[in-house]
Amino acid sequence: MEFDVVIVGGGLVGASLAATLKNSGLKLGLVESGALPETDAPSPQSSPASGRGGERERQSSIPAWDSRIYAFTPGNVEFLKECGAWQRLDMARVQQVEEMRVFGDGDSKLNFSAYQVGAPELAFILESRLLQHALWQGLREQPNLTILQPALCAELCMSDDAALLKLKDGREIKAKLIVGADGRDSWVRHQTNMPEVPTPYHQHGLVANFNTSKAHRGIAYQWFTPEGILALLPLPGKRISIVWSVSPEHSAELLALTPEELAARVAEASGHVLGELEVITPPAAFALRVLNLSHLTRPRLALIGDAAHNIHPLSGHGVNLGLRDARELANTILQRGALDCGDTGLLRRYEQARQMDIMSMQLTTDTLKNLFVNNNPLLRFARNLGLNATNRLVPLKNMLVRHALL
């Protein structure tokens, strides 16, 4: 089998790259190791019974919520519209974020508002599986795309004029360009002998979804404390999703709690800002790390998404970085002129265009994590002073908000 571009990995980033190249005239291949996503919308399942009246009874009739929740920037929403995926979503499952309130471990705080910069929203909150489903609906109908799934990669060989990808079932694929979009433990990246290795943060990210007794009003919350970083992301209705970055020991303790105990612990940690909480998805945790590659490309190979970089989830921008990778690589390919898709100079153009965005986001999240997850009294004074000072500097705040909208 011969292709112009073969994408390894059909997650959100890999699928969006394939979708945006729909009208490129290129012959595309997509290699995905997982099972074929369902063609129909997720079937309704009951949420845990609460006995708290009509609102909770109404909520229990909706399909079960995915604990993997992402905040998408308005810029990436426009990209997803170009892919044709956003239009397929049920907007009743999408929540706009209009304001964000950030708290330090003292009396410091920092508020961001979309209205201050004349924007309708700061971000859109959406479940991973629903967007994945919407993307794959389009991929199945895409005439220039061949889907190989489930398929496991066995060997990758490079030559001057093409890349040869061998699958474990014996099939061989020849392509001008191989794109690694296969996640943070990327098989493709491991074949390139890149010397960089991930650096662990010695923290776990715990995620879960909750019903709330108070309305969130489209506000996201975040608390920075020496013990960890807690974020509350609004979901449609009176629901939230949390990301709690804590030590592995604290993560194990939280996972061992009953749903009622966990809800009480999160409500206490968030100062009961949204009242009583009720768990609606089982908690899960994953190890956090940072990965910073000096190069995103090799001859006839490019990395995008988590295969190319890992960052701390405190900013909520991991998936947004990946989608911007896909946007930039697609634009680079579409503007290649007479060059073939795997030309080294062409791929370097993509790499150079992405390096500053990735480096600045990694530096920001890494610095904030190290600054706040620290018991040094001088750092405690400095970080809280910095939050309050930034909150008073409206032009600086507005600049940060505008960058976050990209």
Six-digit token string for 386: 């910095």
Six-digit token string for 29: 């291949």
DSSP state letters, 25-68: ---EEEE--SPPPPSSPPPP-PPPP--S-HHHHHHTTSPPPPS-
Domain range summary for the chain, segments of one domain joined by +:
2-42+49-404
Which whole-number Å values give the CA distances from 295 to 200, 201, 353, in the listed order? 20, 22, 12
Six-digit token string for 205: 């990210």
pLDDT of residue 43: 38
pLDDT of residue 35: 73
- State pLDDT tens for residues 341-383: 999 999 999 999 999 999 888 887 777 766 666 666 666 556 6
Q: In angstroms, how far is CA 356 from the centroid of its own chain?
A: 19
Q: Which helix (H) or strand (E) holds 131?
A: helix 128-140
pLDDT of residue 67: 87
pLDDT of residue 312: 85
Asked if 245 and 229 touch (Cβ cutoff 8 Å), the reply is yes
pLDDT of residue 45: 35
288: number of CA atoms within 13 Å, CB side?
Answer: 28
Please return the burial class of 265, using the count of CB atoms within 10 Å of its CB with bins 0-12, 13-18 and 19+.
Answer: middle
pLDDT of residue 58: 36
pLDDT of residue 80: 98
Asked if 224 and 269 touch (Cβ cutoff 8 Å), the reply is no
pLDDT of residue 40: 43
Pick the CATH number of 2-42+49-404 from 1.10.340.30, 3.40.50.720, 3.40.50.300, 3.50.50.60: 3.50.50.60
pLDDT of residue 367: 73
Asked if 37 and 153 touch (Cβ cutoff 8 Å), the reply is no
Paired strand residues for 178: 6, 301
**pTM for this model (two decimals):** 0.88
Asked if 29 and 167 touch (Cβ cutoff 8 Å), the reply is no
Q: Which helix (H) or strand (E) holds 253?
A: helix 248-255
pLDDT of residue 110: 83
Parts of the chain with a pLDDT under 70: 36-63, 315, 369-406
Q: Which helix (H) or strand (E) holds 301?
A: strand 301-303
